[in-house]
Amino acid sequence: MGPKTQRVYETIRSWIESGRYEPGDKLPSERTLSSELGIGRTALRQVLGRLANERFIKAHDRSAYRVVGSSGVPTPSNLPAWEIHGSRRIYDNRWVNLDLVDVEPPGVKRFEHHVVRLHHVAITAVIDDQDRVLMLWRYRFVPEQWGWELPGGIVDDGEDPAVTAVRETEEETGWRPAAVEHVVTYQPMIGMVDSPHEVFVGKGATHVGDPSDTEEAGHVAWVPLDEIPGLMREGKLMGSGTIVALLHLLSSRPTTAR
């Protein structure tokens, strides 16, 4: 994909991600897009094909596309939330805090619920032009297990999580991502643990030296994405952030690459 088609790809994708075209919306005709974006129809179809492969859009009738999304799934509204009457901390530590929260679910007698509060973290999946992902093979003493992980770490107070993603990748692997893109923020154990996890994807990285974080560093390798399903079946992938990020990479691969 040349500079012009890449520019058009990024433009249409930004329209979708910014909400200019929402799930279910029909994109303008090829003729309109070609004229508005200053690109030939053949090159435009290459862009639209890539967006379709990456599941941003889907074909609708002949030479027409709609934005992919969940607009057809209704979101329940006006449901009562749990009422929080107060909270008291029963354990305070640099790494983990434990609170007892006085809550009252709808129609249920109020009670105290344990909440574990951990750090805000960022995880990064860096993929290269050979469809390989940057990973670490290391030991985790809690499950007493060796396994593959993506680099990641704690977001410092006031730090942009994207900055954390780049910093932690470089510290743990010695590779500096050119740029990272946010994919999703999620909670790994939503019922009892508060620890926002931010997943980022990077395209390419520059080797800048040896890992500087000796405690977190392990054996660094570029693992072919095709090997990930097998490693998953064998139980060799550790951590929910690693699995979420890798599943995203696998699901967003162009169909022609499979």
Tens of pLDDT, residue by residue over 130-158, are 999 999 999 999 999 999 999 999 999 88
The answer to whether residues 136 and 151 touch, using CB atoms and an 8 Å cutoff, is: yes
Q: What angle do CA 140, 163, 130 make, to 5 degrees?
A: 70
| The three-state (H, E, C) secondary structure of 202-228, written as one string | EECEEECCCCCCCCCCCEEEEEEHHHH
- Asked whether residue 217 falls in the same domain as residue 134, the answer is yes
Total domains, the chain: 3
The pLDDT score that the predictor gives to residue 61 is 64
Among residues 68, 60, 74, the alpha carbon closest in space to that of 24 is found at 68
The answer to whether residues 183 and 203 touch, using CB atoms and an 8 Å cutoff, is: no
- Asked whether residue 24 falls in the same domain as residue 89, the answer is no
Tens of pLDDT, residue by residue over 44-57, are 988 888 888 777 88
The pLDDT score that the predictor gives to residue 258 is 42
User: Does the global pTM surpass 0.75?
Assistant: no
In a domain, 78, yes or no: no
Domain span at residue 157 reads 121-257
Question: What ranges in the chain are assigned the alpha helix state H?
Answer: 3-17, 30-37, 41-53, 161-173, 228-233, 240-251
- Asked whether residue 113 falls in the same domain as residue 129, the answer is no
- Asked whether residue 105 falls in the same domain as residue 133, the answer is no
CATH number at residue 34: 1.10.10.10
In a domain, 73, yes or no: no
CATH number at residue 232: 3.90.79.10
Tens of pLDDT, residue by residue over 153-194, are 999 988 999 999 999 999 999 999 988 988 888 999 999 999
